């Protein structure tokens, strides 16, 4: 954001936009499990045993809270499911999906 602001010397980024961006960045870093495969391509290069160890270390608390869902699943499926999850923040009153339209 600093680079963006420096690139456009005529205008400053509004504090409201900065605050909203910080919330989105925090959510992404804390909850967007998909970042592990988007930002770190080595994930698919390591053996499944290490993938499992990494997933359990980073997301173990989340996995435990959904034990009823993951308990009977193969570990490879759990790993893949977790690292492909993504976080989206919706604000009160914001439309998530248009009524009557297919969501893709």
pTM of the model: 0.53
Angle of CA points 78, 84, 89, to nearest 5°: 120
Range 49-67 average pLDDT: 87
Residue 24 structure tokens: 């989105």
Rounded-to-integer distance, Cα 42 and Cα 19, Å = 32
pLDDT of residue 25: 62
- Are residues 83 and 55 in contact, defined by beta-carbon separation less than 8 angstroms? yes
Quote the percentage of the chain above a pLDDT of 90.
8
pLDDT of residue 32: 64
pLDDT over 80 at 40, yes or no: no
pLDDT over 80 at 31, yes or no: no
Q: Where are the domains of the chain?
A: 1-31, 33-89
pLDDT over 70 at 16, yes or no: yes
pLDDT of residue 52: 92
């Amino acid at each position: 954001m600093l680079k963006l602001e420096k690139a456009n010397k005529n205008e400053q980024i509004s504090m409201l936009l900065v605050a909203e961006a910080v919330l989105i960045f925090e959510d992404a870093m804390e909850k967007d499990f998909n970042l592990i495969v988007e930002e770190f391509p080595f994930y698919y290069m390591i053996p499944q045993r290490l993938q499992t160890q990494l997933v359990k270390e980073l997301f173990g608390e989340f996995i435990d809270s959904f034990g009823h869902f993951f308990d009977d699943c193969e570990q490879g499926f759990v790993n893949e499911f977790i690292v492909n999850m993504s976080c989206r923040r919706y604000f009160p009153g914001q439309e998530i999906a248009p009524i009557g339209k297919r969501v893709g």
